[in-house]
Structure 1
Amino acid sequence: MGETDTGSVTASQQDWLAQLEAESRGKQKAFMDGIAAKLGRPRVTTAPAHPFRGAPDFWNGFEWPLEERIERFTDNFRSVGGHVERLADMEAVKRFIAAKATELNARYAVRQHQPELDALGLEAAMPEVRFSVWNTDPEEHWTARAAEADIGVVLVDHAAAYTGSLTVLSSQDKGRSVSLLPTVLIAVVPVERLHTRLGEILVRFDAAGRQGLPAGIHFISGPSRSADIENDLTIGVHGPGIVYALLVGRQ
């Protein structure tokens, strides 16, 4: 029985692949040359220079004062169907959430396991609502609890006025399902976390490096919206259909 010349087969395959690549590149060159000819100019074959990286200096230094940040965020968030309330303190936040739960006839709610939300005492203030605190029971099916919830309550990590965006990070105590699955989302936004530009938020993640990144970074700009090819807009298909941003402090 004859031996198989593995080296010859491999060399033959490499030659065949090289031939295919050469043919592909030749077709690509002919295609691009044809476009350049129709445009009446020579084809660009070298990459353009990029002397600048990132946002220009004037944009990095751009910042609105706090009251304008609040006004711009409010306008932008409301323009896409979100709701914004300006509240003096966390006690006002508790009253708002309790009143909204009564108005919506809510029966189930889920919230992040955060010290600021723990201190609100929502469970005592709303005994008629079954409140689940994320990841406090290892036997619980937390995604299911969030999916059945009428209301989800989160503490926002950052917000950007220019884009009307909330930034919510995921961690062991801050499951992404709390903001993604309930019918209504109530996002508590301390005003000191409200920035002018989205870049002010993104640069923090860059500075933290790969090892310092959270499990998830979620940008929320109003209620869930989805449109088909005929531009029929539907609200609440892939997330909460109602979103409240509660701007808290410095009134």
Structure 2
Amino acid sequence: MNRIASRLNRPRMTEAPKQPFRGAPDFWKSYKWNEQECIERFTQNFISVGGHVAHLASMEDVSVFIVDKARELEAKYLVRQNEPDLEQLQLESKLPDAKIAVWNSGDSEPAYWKERSAEADIGIVMADHAVAYTGSVVVMSSPHKGRSVSLLPTVLMIIVPVDRLKTRLGEVLLQFDELGPGQLPAGIHFISGPSRSSDIENDLTIGVHGPGIVYALVVG
């Protein structure tokens, strides 16, 4: 450290610098957008990283949107989380020519569901939280909400109820902190648009490590 300080032509620090602030400042903790602002900012930020956003009034409208996209993409195989809210979509009856798989239903082994998700044209999940300021969607795993549904299909549809859309990331992280380590799920995934990867020459490639097309369907 003495050598580094001498090379920088500055005196060696012997005491730790004072830190009058720790964590987010008070003004940021109280920073909040109204519902319409959250929707607009989330939409702008999600689109800016290559995602797609649709603002829909009801789950019925979500069902129509997914069915139309599935037909447009000629999707033959869809996989969704095993959640009651997603049963409202009634995709089985609306897409009779496609196979609809429901995560962890039946007696199949876990590896079976991972393989099915990797083969799926479209994966459908419910967002647990969403953050307008960063354009991120949070999806947590559970026995009925396998992480593979959001990570492996070619196209991902994330349904975001508007009441789960927050202004700041801290509003979401605080809830995880309150749960404590013993109650946290095995996976907490922050999704900001499609999978993006760049090599050392900064050549951007979409969809290498996950879905190449991601839709956030804001409902309400």
Do residues 247 (structure 1) and 213 (structure 2) align?
Answer: no
How far 1:52 moved relative to its partner?
2.8
Q: Using the alignment, how far apart are the partners of 1:113 and 1:88 within structure 2?
A: 23
Q: Using the alignment, how far apart are the partners of 2:77 and 2:197 within structure 1?
A: 26
Which of these two proteins has the greater Rg computed from alpha carbons?
A: 1
- Choose the corresponding residue for 1:145, options 113, 116, 119: 116
| Unaligned residue ranges in structure 1 (runs of 5+) | 1-31
Q: Using the alignment, how far apart are the partners of 1:45 and 1:97 within structure 2?
A: 62
How far 1:123 moved relative to its partner?
1.2
Q: Using the alignment, how far apart are the partners of 2:122 and 2:106 within structure 1?
A: 19
Q: Using the alignment, how far apart are the partners of 1:207 and 1:139 within structure 2?
A: 34
Q: Using the alignment, how far apart are the partners of 2:210 and 2:68 within structure 1?
A: 22
Give the structure-1-normalised TM-score.
Answer: 0.85
Q: Using the alignment, how far apart are the partners of 1:183 and 1:132 within structure 2?
A: 15
The alignment covers a number of residue pairs equal to 218
Identical positions, percent: 65
Do residues 119 (structure 1) and 94 (structure 2) align?
Answer: no
- Choose the corresponding residue for 1:179, options 147, 150, 156: 150
- Choose the corresponding residue for 1:58, options 18, 22, 27: 27
Do residues 84 (structure 1) and 56 (structure 2) align?
Answer: no
Aligned twin of 1:198: 169
CA deviation string 1:66-117 (max 9, x = no partner): 1011001101100111000010000000011110100000001100001100
How far 1:147 moved relative to its partner?
0.1
Bigger relative contact order, structure 1 or 2, given CA contacts below 8 A and separation 6+? 2
Q: Using the alignment, how far apart are the partners of 2:174 and 2:192 within structure 1?
A: 19
Residue 175 of structure 2 aligns with an amino acid whose one-letter code is R
Residue 133 of structure 2 aligns with an amino acid whose one-letter code is Y
- Choose the corresponding residue for 2:63, options 94, 118, 124: 94
Aligned twin of 1:3: none
Aligned twin of 1:238: 209
Q: Using the alignment, how far apart are the partners of 2:89 and 2:5 within structure 1?
A: 65
Q: Using the alignment, how far apart are the partners of 2:120 and 2:211 within structure 1?
A: 10
Residue 151 of structure 2 aligns with an amino acid whose one-letter code is L
CA deviation string 1:228-250 (max 9, x = no partner): 1111111101000000000001x
How far 1:37 moved relative to its partner?
1.4
Residue 97 of structure 1 aligns with an amino acid whose one-letter code is I
Matched residue of 2:182: which SS? helix
Aligned twin of 1:135: 104
Aligned twin of 1:15: none
- Choose the corresponding residue for 1:167, options 133, 138, 147: 138
Residue 65 of structure 2 aligns with an amino acid whose one-letter code is F
Q: Using the alignment, how far apart are the partners of 2:105 and 2:59 within structure 1?
A: 23
Q: Using the alignment, how far apart are the partners of 1:85 and 1:79 within structure 2?
A: 14
Q: Using the alignment, how far apart are the partners of 1:67 and 1:33 within structure 2?
A: 55
| Unaligned residue ranges in structure 2 (runs of 5+) | none
Q: Using the alignment, how far apart are the partners of 2:34 and 2:86 within structure 1?
A: 27
Which structure 1 residue ranges, 4+ long, deviate > 3 Å from structure 2? Answer: none
Q: Using the alignment, how far apart are the partners of 1:163 and 1:135 within structure 2?
A: 31
Q: Using the alignment, how far apart are the partners of 1:44 and 1:156 within structure 2?
A: 47
Give the alignment of 1:19-38 within 5 angstroms: 32-38=1-7
